[in-house]
């Protein structure tokens, strides 16, 4: 079992090593692509094992939980790894056309696969300190990817990115230290029980808020999102697609994991804070987007507003709310990465991403226009695309709790999303090109067309499939949400049923003693 | 820097530092030391070489690009973790081989942990030298 779990984790490391040693030859990018395909394959094996046996867990070095480093995959974790694999393959192929030889020679593919390893590790680990390590792996490799082009703008973006993320890292590490001091364990399943025995609940809430801030910076929620729009529009399009698709979602995933599994002692406080954070994130993100006039900057601000919906699903803490959050998470990765890939094609054939300087894409590149409409409308929540179902579930969940204002805000933000998507549509696609250029797709060479368009087409098809057949995915997401709210299966898999039973009776006794 | 004394001394010092770094690496399993500290000491040897002479000389003495050295180290550590697959154990489990073991003596203990530590040694050395060489060339 442990090998099924660690294969998607170890593969990117080997790919990174081989891709680095072959970075100056043509073989480098092929190593990268085949490594990404293998990673996706390993992820599919993992998800089929999870579908077969439920939650699976294991630990490195034969040191059993809670002492060793445990890995675990429930439905959510396994699904996230598969999506990571899909984005990995799409971007590895896209980078054939997008990444220059000199950037490759600096080790682009190696950094890219180290990033995939970090993301996969964060989704699979069942240990808080190990999660911190994967966050560091992601931070280091993403910093490398941000500065690899070496332009002034890129370095400026990277410095902002790293500074703010370092603050989050310090906060995370401090929280980990305090939590370890209070409970003596960092295994997430073990913590589920250990925190219930902590007497000083006030201190526990402080630590919970520290984790919320740390993960909130990663997820780019209000008011901690400043780094995102400052850096996401600067690197190459491949890089910003991976960042937009995956990195913030790791933060959301960590929030979901921490507040369903570990910090369940004071649901009222956590839910209230998260609810306000979610609403403000949605609104500020979409207002920020409305004020922008650059293709990628608009998309960057949209990430923030969409993160709000996911956090909202978590904050509701009902089965339907979590179903919405998980569905949103999965759908959004595909859609957002695709939009960034499309902006890269627009940049290539129309000569920029500044909306005032491009145009005419609808007349000259109708295929690209259709491919843009699918993820853009999905993001805005048009039926029957994937985003409609994601928004529908989240809003329905908030209506069930009679949170009219929250539901109203979510609908209003959806409307504003349409507004800024139509801005891109009108300026980049409908209006003629200001320099009377004809941005045809045939401006790409055959090689570049294949490398850039196939990933976009594949991701768009996935969006349509999720939208047309949500019934196929719904039971899966339902189980994922159920496993989050009732983590018995996760605890059993990580700690073993006997240890869980012993811990449960210990906690029960502690409660009785307190009662006396 | 152009100091004859430093230049002459650094030849011997670098050699001593490298031998000492391997000593630190090997004794690290049971006593203070190990791959990380060994790698730092080993890197110091080449840094000394670069300061006394030039970066070009140090690069030539290293024979291999420091970035590649770090990546090969990462590979060695990863292979050490993977080797448990062939013994049907969990990844990163320690595998041991006691060469010439007799009654009462463990002989020469070889292990996948040693390979992992050598990997760490190379990663640290490669990473430090990449940074130092880049900065020295910049200045």
Burial class (CB in 10 A: 0-12, 13-18, 19+), A447: exposed
Residue A173: its pLDDT value, please? 95
Mean pLDDT throughout A261-287? 90
Confidence of residue A267 (pLDDT cuts 50, 70, 90): confident
The pLDDT tens digits of the residues spanning A379-401 come to: 888 888 888 999 999 999 999 98
- Which range has the worst mean pLDDT, A264-273, A475-484, B58-67? A264-273
Cβ–Cβ of A110/B78 closer than 8 Å?
Answer: no
Q: Output the six-digit token pair for A506.
A: 């210990």
Chain position carrying tokens 């400052």: A230
A320 with A397: CB under 8 angstroms?
yes
Cβ–Cβ of A17/B78 closer than 8 Å?
Answer: yes
Total residue count of chain B as it appears in this document: 139
The helix (run of H) or strand (run of E) holding residue A9 is helix A2-21
Give the span between the Cα atoms of A20 and A25, in whole angstroms.
10
Task: Give the residue among A376, A384, A356 at the shortest CA–CA distance from A306.
Answer: A376
The pLDDT tens digits of the residues spanning A63-120 come to: 887 888 999 999 999 999 999 999 999 999 999 998 888 888 888 999 999 999 999 9
Q: Output the six-digit token pair for A465.
A: 């499939």
Q: Taking 70 as the threshold, does the pLDDT of residue A39 lie above it?
A: yes
Q: Is A121 on the interface with B (CB under 8 A)?
A: no
SS3 label, residue A294: strand
Residues of the domain holding B27? 4-138
Among A17, A61, A107, the residue with its CB nearest the CB of B75 is A17
- Contacting A residues, span 416-475, partner chain B, CB-CB under 8 Å: none
Instruction: Tell me the percentage of chain A whose pLDDT exceeds 70.
Output: 98
Q: Is A22 on the interface with B (CB under 8 A)?
A: no
Residue A497: its pLDDT value, please? 84
The pLDDT tens digits of the residues spanning B6-50 come to: 888 988 999 999 999 999 999 888 888 889 999 999 999 999 988
Q: Is A20 on the interface with B (CB under 8 A)?
A: yes
Chain B residue set in contact with A, beta carbons under 8 Å: 67-68, 71-72, 74-75, 78, 81-82, 85, 89-94
Provide the sign of the torsion angle of the four alpha carbons B71, B77, B82, B86, taken in this order.
Answer: positive
Cβ–Cβ of A17/B68 closer than 8 Å?
Answer: no
What is the separation, in whole angstroms, between the first and last Cα of chain B?
12
Residue A84: its pLDDT value, please? 95
Q: What is the mean pLDDT of chain A?
A: 89
Give the span between the Cα atoms of A486 and A489, in whole angstroms.
8
Q: How many helices (H) and strands (E) does chain B have?
A: 5, 2
Cβ–Cβ of A2/B90 closer than 8 Å?
Answer: yes
Q: Output the six-digit token pair for A249.
A: 């979602």
Mean pLDDT throughout A2-18? 92
A342 with A236: CB under 8 angstroms?
no
Give the span between the Cα atoms of B69 and B78, in whole angstroms.
14
Please give the tally of structural domains in chain B. Answer: 1
Å between A57 CA and nearest CA of chain B: 12
Give the span between the Cα atoms of A139 and A169, in whole angstroms.
9
Give the span between the Cα atoms of A172 and B88, in whole angstroms.
36
Higher local confidence (pLDDT), A74 or A360: A74
Chain position carrying tokens 């939208």: A467
Q: Taking 50 as the threshold, does the pLDDT of residue B84 lie above it?
A: yes
Give the span between the Cα atoms of B68 and B71, in whole angstroms.
5
Cβ–Cβ of A20/B78 closer than 8 Å?
Answer: no
The helix (run of H) or strand (run of E) holding residue B34 is none
The pLDDT tens digits of the residues spanning A158-189 come to: 888 888 888 899 999 999 999 999 998 999 99
Task: Give the residue among B35, B38, B36, B63 at the shortest CA–CA distance from B49.
Answer: B63
Q: Is A107 on the interface with B (CB under 8 A)?
A: yes
Q: How far is CA A453 from the centre of its chain?
A: 23
Cβ–Cβ of B91/A20 closer than 8 Å?
Answer: no
Confidence of residue A516 (pLDDT cuts 50, 70, 90): very low
A312 with A414: CB under 8 angstroms?
no
Q: What angle is formed at CA A310 by the lines to CA A385 and CA A334, rounded to 5 degrees? A: 45
């Amino acid at each position: 079992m442990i090998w099924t779990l660690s294969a998607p984790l170890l593969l990117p490391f080997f790919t990174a090593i081989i891709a680095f040693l072959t970075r100056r030859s043509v073989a480098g990018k092929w190593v990268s692509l085949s490594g990404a395909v293998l990673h996706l394959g390993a992820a599919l094996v993992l998800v089929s094992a999870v579908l077969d046996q439920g939650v699976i867990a294991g630990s490195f070095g034969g040191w059993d939980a809670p002492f060793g480093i445990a890995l675990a995959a429930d439905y959510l974790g396994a699904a996230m790894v598969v999506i990571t694999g899909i984005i990995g393959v799409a971007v590895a192929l896209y980078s054939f056309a997008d990444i220059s030889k000199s950037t490759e020679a600096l080790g682009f593919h190696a950094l890219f696969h180290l990033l995939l390893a970090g993301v996969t590790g964060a989704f699979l680990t069942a240990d808080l300190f190990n999660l911190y390590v994967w966050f560091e792996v992601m931070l280091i490799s993403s910093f490398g990817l941000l500065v690899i082009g070496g332009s002034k703008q890129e370095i400026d973006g990277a410095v902002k990115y790293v500074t703010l993320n370092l603050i989050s890292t310090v906060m995370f590490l401090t929280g980990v230290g305090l939590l370890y001091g209070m409970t003596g364990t960092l295994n997430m399943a073990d913590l589920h029980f250990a925190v219930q025995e902590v007497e000083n609940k006030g201190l526990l809430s402080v630590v919970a808020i520290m984790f919320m801030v740390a993960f909130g910076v990663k997820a780019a929620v209000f008011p901690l999102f400043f780094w995102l729009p400052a850096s996401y529009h600067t690197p190459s399009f491949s890089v910003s697609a991976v960042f937009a698709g995956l990195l913030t979602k790791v933060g959301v995933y960590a929030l979901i994991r921490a507040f369903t599994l570990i910090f369940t002692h004071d649901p009222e406080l956590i839910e209230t804070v998260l609810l306000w954070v979610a609403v403000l994130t949605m609104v500020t993100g979409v207002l920020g987007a409305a004020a922008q006039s650059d293709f990628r900057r608009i998309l960057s601000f949209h990430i923030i507003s969409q993160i709000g919906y996911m956090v909202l699903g978590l904050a509701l803490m009902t089965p339907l709310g979590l179903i919405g959050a998980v569905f949103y998470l999965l759908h959004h990765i595909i859609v957002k990465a695709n939009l960034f890939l499309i902006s890269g094609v627009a940049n290539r054939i129309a000569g920029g991403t500044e909306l005032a300087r491009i145009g005419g894409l609808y007349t000259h590149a109708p295929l690209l226009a259709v491919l843009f409409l699918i993820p853009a409308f999905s993001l805005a929540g048009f039926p029957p695309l994937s985003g409609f179902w994601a928004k529908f579930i989240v809003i329905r969940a908030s209506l069930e709790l009679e949170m009219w204002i929250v539901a109203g805000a979510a609908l209003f933000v959806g409307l504003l999303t349409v507004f800024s998507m139509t801005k891109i549509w009108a300026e980049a696609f409908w209006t003629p090109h200001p320099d009377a250029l004809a941005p045809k797709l045939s401006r790409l060479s055959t090689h570049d067309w294949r490398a850039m368009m196939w990933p976009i087409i594949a991701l768009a098809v996935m969006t349509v499939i999720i939208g047309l057949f949500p019934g196929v995915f719904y039971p899966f997401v339902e189980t994922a949400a159920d496993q989050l709210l009732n983590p018995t299966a996760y605890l059993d898999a990580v700690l073993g049923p006997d240890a869980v039973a012993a811990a449960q009776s210990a906690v029960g006794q502690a409660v009785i003693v307190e009662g006396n | 820097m152009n100091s004859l004394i430093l230049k002459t001394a650094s030849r011997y010092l670098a050699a001593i530092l490298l031998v000492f770094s391997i000593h630190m690496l090997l004794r690290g399993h049971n006593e203070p030391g190990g791959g990380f500290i060994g790698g730092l000491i080993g890197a110091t040897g080449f840094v000394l070489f670069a300061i006394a002479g030039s970066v070009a000389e140090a690069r030539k003495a290293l024979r291999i690009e420091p970035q590649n050295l770090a990546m090969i180290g990462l590979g060695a550590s990863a292979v050490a973790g993977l080797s448990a697959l062939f013994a049907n154990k969990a990844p990163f489990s320690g595998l041991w081989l006691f060469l010439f073991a007799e009654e009462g003596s463990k002989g020469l203990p070889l292990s996948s942990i040693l390979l992992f530590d050598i990997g760490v040694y190379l990663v640290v050395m490669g990473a430090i030298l990449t940074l130092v060489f880049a900065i020295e060339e910049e200045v």
